[in-house]
Amino acid sequence: MKSIFFIGLIACLISCTKAPQEQPTPQIINYPYTALVGHTWEGLSYTDPVTATPYYQFLHITSDTTVGIYTASYDASTIVVPEAAYACKITTHPNHADALEIFYPGSSQPHSFSTTGDTTRITDGTIDYKRFK
């Protein structure tokens, strides 16, 4: 009698297995390039050795295919290199880790930039550009 009870208990335990819980698929969100377009980014380009004035390179991203680049003092009182428009390509990735490629005339490869997760900085590995406006 005890053996029948134990066999029944074991059979009951085996048949009462917990159903596996399904994990929801993680949702990947591609944030649009508009987080970059319409903003200007500034990065310290160089400091004048005579006057000690810092000059910044500005990336003015006007559209998903055009970026204006100029070099000036931070307050724009002195413009060293006037703004010139270059072709660019913006590739979006999850969590704002977007890529910006600038195509300079005569260059065989684009100059590549990547953003940080919160899009407050763009870097090319040498200069960190911060969102200016």
For 16-25, write each residue's pLDDT tens digit: 555 566 665 5
Q: In degrees, to the nearest 5, what angle opens at C-alpha 61 toward C-alphas 41 and 120? A: 35
Instruction: List, in order, residues 6 or more apart from 61 with CB less than 8 Å away.
Output: 36, 37, 38, 39, 40, 41, 67, 88, 90, 100
- Strand 40-47 with 54-61, pairing: antiparallel
pLDDT digits (tens, 9 = 90+) for 37-80: 888 888 998 898 998 889 999 989 888 899 999 998 887 788 88
- pTM exceeding the 0.85 threshold for the entire prediction: no
| Residue ranges of domains in the chain | 33-131
Q: Which residue has the higher pLDDT, 101 or 5?
A: 101
Which CATH number does 33-131 carry? 2.40.128
9 bridge partner residues = none
